[in-house]
Amino acid sequence: MTGLKLFSRRILPQLVTLAVVVGLISIMFPGFFEISIANGRLYGSPIDILNRGAPVALLAIGMTLVIATGGIDLSVGAVMAICGAMAAWGITEGYGLGLTLLMALAAGLACGLWNGLLVAVLGIQPIVATLILMVAGRGIAQLITEGAILTFNHEGLIFFGSGSLFTIPTPIIIAIVTGALVTLIVRRSALGMLIEAIGINLRASTLAGVNTRVLLIAVYMASGLCAALAGVIAAADIRGADANNAGLWLELDAILAVVIGGTSLLGGRFSLIASLIGALIIQAVNTGILLSGFPPEFNLIIKAGIILIILVLQSPTIRTMVIFLSPAPVSQADTEKQAVNQ
């Protein structure tokens, strides 16, 4: 019971932020909550937010784990491009859906392995290590697509981008299932705690007997796998692999989602659900701007303004100030009284 209470207190700020952003959009655009069914799948702006937010949500899952270890993965956008290109190439070469997906996911794992080796074995700083693949990755993707947008018409692959299961668009299902699986794995075992231990003190964890090297590599591989899923979705969505633009700057959105979710960039405690809500907040802002009909020159300013407000409200200094300035600090007095009574 207390665990549930703690958990809801943990994700409360993110939920409130999401509610406020969605509320603002529905004031500006009254038809926001209308959901219907078109072509056998749910159709409406809230569905758009979930559907468009799925790639960033997937990236945020991997990114949360990486950031919890005190690292960062700048390469996920480029890995998306590589895996999308791999999927498009595989399907146009006629390898069949199963093998194609396997190749795309394997490419993501390989990219993660590369990052993991640089960080865990060679001891290169994560921001530098993953920068290498961030820069080189698009080149690799371009080699696969030979510089053009590689288009395909394979219904099976397209299903992962614009198909639906029980009227729910596939990307949403993939993101939710991945999120749930990863949460189960890290929270039902000691893995989550070990990842947090690495983030808090790498050397102490090693001395305490944690196999930090293997765990670090595994975390980067998980991030690569998440990026591969996002890359397949992005390519399937437009029925083509665009090496130049697939996942462009999404690594920054993913990091932002984790930060909005309240996980510290210094590593340590993390919350996957809060990161997922963070990803939804970012996409809600994006979709809201598009629905609002403002001229495009304002897009980035509005987005930056909203993010700034969210982060300022989350800042510890502001929180202390709010508590300090609030007229009746009842709760604080109560706890003191309790302490005295005990």
Partner 1 sequence: MISKKALVGAGLLASMLMMSSSALAQTVGFSQIGSESGWRAAETTLTLQQAKERGIDLKFADAQQKQENQIKALRSFIAQGVDAILIAPVVATGWDSVLEEAKEAEIPVILLDRMVDSSDDLYLTAVGSDLVHEGSVAGQWLVDELGGKDCNVVELQGTTGSSPAIDRKNGFEQAIEGHANIKLIRSQTGDFTRTKGKEVMESFLKAEDGGKNICALYAHNDDMAVGAIQAIKEAGLKPGEDILVVSIDAVPDIFQAMAAGEANATVELTPNMAGPAFDALAAYMKDGTMPPKFIQTESKLYTQADDPQAVYEQKKDLGY
Site of interaction with partner 1 (CB under 8 A) = 29, 31, 36, 38-39, 41, 43-45, 48, 52, 147-149, 151, 162, 234, 237-240, 242, 244-246, 248, 287, 290-291, 293, 295-297, 299
Q: Give the nearest distance from C-beta 150 to partner 1 in angstroms.
A: 11
Of 200 and 291, CB closest to partner 1: 291
- Helical axes 97-116 vs 126-145, angle rounded to 10°: 150
Of 275 and 286, CB closest to partner 1: 286
Q: Give the nearest distance from C-beta 160 to partner 1 in angstroms.
A: 14
Of 7 and 33, CB closest to partner 1: 33
Q: Give the nearest distance from C-beta 71 to partner 1 in angstroms.
A: 28
Q: Give the nearest distance from C-beta 175 to partner 1 in angstroms.
A: 16
Is residue 62 a contact partner of residue 74, using CB atoms and an 8 Å limit? Answer: no
Residues in contact with 256: Cβ distance below 8 Å, sequence separation at least 6, in sequence order = 278, 282, 307
The SS3 assignment for 329 reads coil
The C-alpha atoms of residue 337 and residue 342 are separated, in whole angstroms, by: 9
Q: Give the nearest distance from C-beta 237 to partner 1 in angstroms.
A: 7
The SS3 assignment for 177 reads helix
Of 151 and 183, CB closest to partner 1: 151
User: DSSP assignment, residue 265?
Assistant: T
Of 70 and 247, CB closest to partner 1: 247
Query: Residue 23, Cβ neighbours under 10 Å: how many?
Result: 11
The C-alpha atoms of residue 165 and residue 179 are separated, in whole angstroms, by: 17
